[in-house]
Amino acid sequence: MAAADRVLQFLRGPTGSPAAAAPARVARRGLPQTRHQLHFRQAPAGTRRASVSCRSSCTSSGSGEEERLTYKDAGVDVDAGNELVRRIARMTPWIGGFSGLFPFGKYYLAASTDGVGTKLKLAFETGIHDTVGIDLVAMCVNDIITSGAKPLFFLDYYATSKLDVDVAEKTAEMPGFYAKDEYDVCGFALGIVEKDKLIDGKNIVKGDVLIGLPSSGVHSNGFSLVRRVLEKSGFSLSDQLPRNDGITTTVGEALLAPTVIYVKQVLEIISKGGVKGLAHITGGGFTENIPRVFPSGLGAKIFTGSWEVPPVFSWLQQVGNIDDAEMRRTFNMGIGMVLVVGRESADRIIEDTRGANPAYRIGEVIQGKGVQYV
């Protein structure tokens, strides 16, 4: 079986889990929109198997005596980032959306820039580079579509210490700046939306429904904590993750699954009406990203058992001894994009997405603040 197929089967959930008990549901999981043949290095014979007891859900089971890892311990302070945004907002009150908007006649231009972050470190270690470009495009265009904009074009920046034509065809060489065999990438995307079709969350009300679109795994955020978990556990990227169905999957294969590009699916849903807001679930997870689309005084209630959580998150939580709140504030937990829709539109949208690109009713808008998990 091809390595790509092994990754997809791993992300769908192990045999014996609730996911496996619902074959119709599992059959439509996978990598929505992105169809890319992955080429992974094969794990050498004799690699270790990580022991993980969690299967279909992400629930911490540590006793509390062992050190719990956090995103802040790994070097990323989400609270500090939020404080920076708050201070900048004093001068630019419109900041806080997922993309920048510029009025252009009867349109808005929507712009976004992003990188892949420390996920690149895993690409360097494994030699898997052919998914990085997908991550880069996805991180930019997924932000743009949250305003209802259609991406027009994408620009990239690639820099390395010394050009390796087997890794990249074009680059800016910077000897002495990057470590040998390493590089950095950055993407820029521009989209357009008519002003009267802008999606800005202003019409969201209590009782609206939250619909989640599945992720392919960790996507491109939280890798500082991922790498800290790997360091603590002593496992390597070539070690095998546990499966009960005989399929071999390595840690590296699961973690480097490319970010889903949601453009086609989301724009098709938007075109049929009923979408009031969208949140791209990146760094900060549900806890930080969903409230960004709400008017003041509204919050979210998330039904935690309403979608399939990829097993890679259970593995990270157990090995890293990470509590539930930290997981939900760091990772996408299996949902990469959240749509806020009117209650009258929810059933139609979910029904329309049956097939290769599913959607799940994962929660609702409530009176209050922040995100509640039930």
Side-chain-facing half-sphere of 373: CA atoms under 13 Å: 15
The C-alpha atoms of residue 13 and residue 34 are separated, in whole angstroms, by: 20
Q: Does residue 325 have a pLDDT over 50? A: yes
- Comparing C-alpha atoms, which of 199, 232, 204 is closest to residue 317? 232
CB 7 within 8 A of CB 38: yes
Who wins on pLDDT, 60 or 143?
143
- What is the residue whose two structure tokens read 């935690």? 304
Q: Does residue 355 have a pLDDT over 80? A: no
The domains of the chain are located at 93-373
pLDDT digits (tens, 9 = 90+) for 118-142: 899 999 988 888 899 999 999 999 9
Please tell me the pTM assigned to this model: 0.77
pLDDT of residue 155: 95
In the predicted model, what is the mean pLDDT of the chain? 79
* Candidate CATH numbers 3.90.650.10, 3.40.720.10, 3.40.50.11610, 3.30.420.40; the one for domain 93-373: 3.90.650.10
pLDDT digits (tens, 9 = 90+) for 145-165: 999 999 999 999 888 877 777
The C-alpha atoms of residue 334 and residue 296 are separated, in whole angstroms, by: 27
SS3 271: helix
Q: Which residues contact 49 (CB under 8 A, 6 or more apart)?
A: 239, 240, 241, 242
**Beta strand 298-302 pairing with 275-280:** unpaired
Who wins on pLDDT, 50 or 365?
365
pLDDT digits (tens, 9 = 90+) for 205-228: 999 999 999 999 999 999 999 999
